[in-house]
């Protein structure tokens, strides 16, 4: 876990294990990770924000904890004195190389579209670009683009900062 002001994400990208790949092959789980990125939330809080059944969400939370994508924080007392366990994203999902697992791309797109639906399409900032690049130029473009994303992903979380999500998709044209 990250201390205040320290980068959350540390380490190198690596190929996801089968269990890790299965854990993040769900739009719901990806949304849980996004919700718990900058604040620790209990299962009940996660379920309320997603508009889902707490029992179903608990299954997803346990899967993410079991694979190291979420970490339980110290238990706390809820408003009625009940013991609650908040969870925080570890940042591990950014370190998973999934380019060779196309089945994981659909959940990413689905999670993004659900998030856009939640805030409203009018708040979506988007752009589209067509390129014609030689293989070496395409490699450089990808390297630089992923380098920029990695740089920002590894920055310390600013508690006063505004929350944003980014989805990037590239495809060859037919």
Three-state secondary structure call for residue 109: helix
pLDDT at 7: 61
Q: Which of 21, 166, 46 is nearest to 101 (CA)?
A: 21
H/E stretch holding 14 reads: strand 14-15
Domains of the chain, earliest start first: 14-121+130-153 (1.10.10.10)
pLDDT at 6: 58
pLDDT tens for each residue of 58-116: 999 999 999 999 999 999 988 888 899 999 999 999 998 876 766 666 888 889 999 99
pLDDT at 109: 87
Residue 24: CB atoms within 10 Å: 24
Longest Cα–Cα distance in the chain: 62
pLDDT tens for each residue of 125-167: 999 999 999 999 999 999 999 999 999 999 988 889 998 989 8
Beta bridge partners, 76, equal 84
Q: What is the DSSP letter of 91?
A: S
pLDDT tier for residue 2 given thresholds of 50, 70 and 90: very low
Q: Which of 37, 9, 36 is nearest to 94 (CA)?
A: 9
pLDDT at 1: 43
């Amino acid at each position: 876990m990250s201390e205040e002001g320290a980068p959350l994400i540390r380490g190198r990208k690596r190929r996801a294990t089968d269990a890790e790949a299965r854990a993040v092959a769900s739009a719901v789980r990806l949304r849980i990770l996004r919700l718990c990125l900058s604040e620790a939330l209990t299962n009940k809080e996660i379920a309320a924000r997603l508009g889902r059944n707490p029992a179903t969400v608990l299954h997803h939370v346990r899967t993410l904890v079991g694979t190291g994508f979420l970490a339980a924080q110290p238990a706390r007392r809820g408003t009625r004195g009940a013991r609650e366990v908040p969870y925080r994203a570890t940042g591990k999902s950014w370190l998973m190389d999934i380019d060779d697992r196309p089945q994981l791309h659909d959940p990413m797109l689905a999670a993004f579209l659900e998030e856009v639906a939640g805030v409203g399409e009018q708040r979506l900032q988007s752009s589209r670009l067509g390129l014609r690049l030689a293989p070496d130029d395409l490699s450089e473009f990808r390297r630089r683009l992923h380098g920029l994303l990695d740089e920002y992903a590894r920055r310390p979380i600013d508690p006063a900062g505004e929350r944003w999500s980014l989805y990037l998709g590239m495809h060859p044209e037919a």
